[in-house]
Copies of this chain bind each other. A is one copy, B any other.
């Protein structure tokens, strides 16, 4: 058992406070975060619930919040789920960890997009899971390739970010969605769908969970209301739901206070308003990033992003070397090598439009382009 620092963490250590062009952070745009509404909700919940808001959290999460989340996912994501099947967690990463503990042990086979999100696979690896990378292209995970791998390696779990993939930005095509759900049934695969970004863009495909109840859905309010609240959720039913409620009691990590806050924010429609503004802002930011890359780093984009926060590029040189140089000029990103499952490609990088202001994107990419050219 070995433990590693995530490259996201390492990169953010290299990033000096107040770095100008921060393409490293997966945080949401600070101008969208409803800071004053959070203050208002704080007053509301203390006024209405008093001491309860700092009492021990109950199993499965605050019922009022679970009901509001069920409304939110119905409205935003077209997912129909009973509040009983919604388990509140301390963020999506916490959800993935708990699911890993329940579903994975030494040798469990987990099929993932290659590259995939380095932080969510860490707890799977810690459990001893055997990760098998499935190629990904502009239509998402190559499900024909997945089927072939499953025939060779046997059944297992599919961990996927079908919409607005992290780190590539692609979304799974309609045909592959159908195919993925077909083969999951045929070969007895359990799908874990990780879905932080779908609600933030207009015209995205509905999540897999909206068409198949067997899909284990992991969602979050981090990108809408603020990652520091640590409120995510799993939509899951039956025995696994019960086990998830029980294993959550092994850490009791989800703050009652932030559950009440998010409940009140959802109840008052604050999340809906943020999403409305997000659906205007993030597509413009992503477009700005793509256009800037095409201008200043032509040919670097390895995938054409459709939505989400990320673009994945070929840096031509070792990305850690590049990062050290670019940080000196105020530009940060996350080197991409550790996002790969099969064979690492160290000359790749993940660029995020999450935290950086839209007006800084072009200048930051221009600087990065100059550094790459002079390498």
**Pair B249/A119 contact, Cβ less than 8 Å:** yes
Q: Is A97 an interface residue, CB under 8 A from the partner?
A: yes
Q: A39-B42, A257-B228 are in contact. Are A247 and B3 (CB under 8 A)?
A: yes
Number of this chain's copies in the assembly equals 2
How close is A278's CB to chain B, nearest CB, in angstroms?
Answer: 15
Distance between Cα atoms of A40 and B171 in the complex (Å): 45
- Interface-lining segment among A50-58, A301-309, A356-364: A50-58
Q: Is A340 an interface residue, CB under 8 A from the partner?
A: no
How close is A357's CB to chain B, nearest CB, in angstroms?
Answer: 13
Distance between Cα atoms of A254 and B258 in the complex (Å): 11
Q: Is A126 an interface residue, CB under 8 A from the partner?
A: yes
**Pair A253/B250 contact, Cβ less than 8 Å:** no
How close is A125's CB to chain B, nearest CB, in angstroms?
Answer: 9
Q: Is A230 an interface residue, CB under 8 A from the partner?
A: yes
**Pair A252/B91 contact, Cβ less than 8 Å:** yes
Chain B residues positioned under 8 Å from A25 (CB to CB): 56
> Which among B35, B46, B101, B249 is the interface contact of A51 at CB below 8 angstroms?
B35
Chain B residues positioned under 8 Å from A54 (CB to CB): 33, 35, 38, 225-229
Quick one: CB contact mask for A132-172 with B, threshold 8 Å, 1 for yes?
A: 00000000000000000000000000000000000000000
> Which among B43, B123, B250 is the interface contact of A122 at CB below 8 angstroms?
B250
Q: Is A90 an interface residue, CB under 8 A from the partner?
A: yes
**Pair B243/A230 contact, Cβ less than 8 Å:** no
**Pair B254/A257 contact, Cβ less than 8 Å:** no
Quick one: CB contact mask for A67-103 with B, threshold 8 Å, 1 for yes?
A: 0000000000000000000000011011001100100
Q: A54-B38, A54-B227 are in contact. Are A90 and B249 (CB under 8 A)?
A: no
- Interface-lining segment among A4-12, A197-205, A288-296, A367-375: A4-12
> Which among B56, B59, B123, B246 is the interface contact of A250 at CB below 8 angstroms?
B123
**Pair A251/B94 contact, Cβ less than 8 Å:** yes
Distance between Cα atoms of A97 and B247 in the complex (Å): 10
Chain B residues positioned under 8 Å from A33 (CB to CB): 51, 54
Of chain B, the residue at the smallest CB distance from A261 is: B257
Q: A27-B56, A90-B90, A243-B3 are in contact. Are A230 and B255 (CB under 8 A)?
A: yes
> Which among B39, B58, B246 is the interface contact of A46 at CB below 8 angstroms?
B39
**Pair B258/A97 contact, Cβ less than 8 Å:** no
Q: Is the interface of A mostly helix, strand, loop or mixed?
A: helix
Q: Is A298 an interface residue, CB under 8 A from the partner?
A: no
Of chain B, the residue at the smallest CB distance from A249 is: B6
> Which among B5, B97, B98, B253 is the interface contact of A246 at CB below 8 angstroms?
B5
Distance between Cα atoms of A6 and B245 in the complex (Å): 11
Can you sample 29 A-B contacts with CB below 8 Å?
A3-B247, A5-B246, A12-B58, A25-B56, A27-B55, A30-B51, A35-B46, A35-B51, A38-B54, A42-B42, A54-B227, A55-B227, A90-B90, A90-B255, A91-B251, A91-B252, A91-B253, A93-B249, A94-B252, A98-B251, A119-B249, A122-B249, A123-B250, A226-B257, A230-B253, A230-B255, A253-B254, A257-B261, A258-B258
User: Which residues in A have some Cβ–Cβ distance to B below 8 Å?
Assistant: 3-6, 9, 12, 25-27, 30, 33, 35, 38-39, 42-43, 46, 50-51, 53-59, 90-91, 93-94, 97-98, 101, 119, 122-123, 126, 225-230, 243, 246-247, 249-258, 261
Q: Supply 9 further A-B pairs (C-beta < 8 A) apart from A57-B230, A90-B252, A90-B254.
A: A5-B249, A27-B56, A39-B46, A56-B227, A94-B251, A97-B250, A122-B249, A227-B256, A229-B255
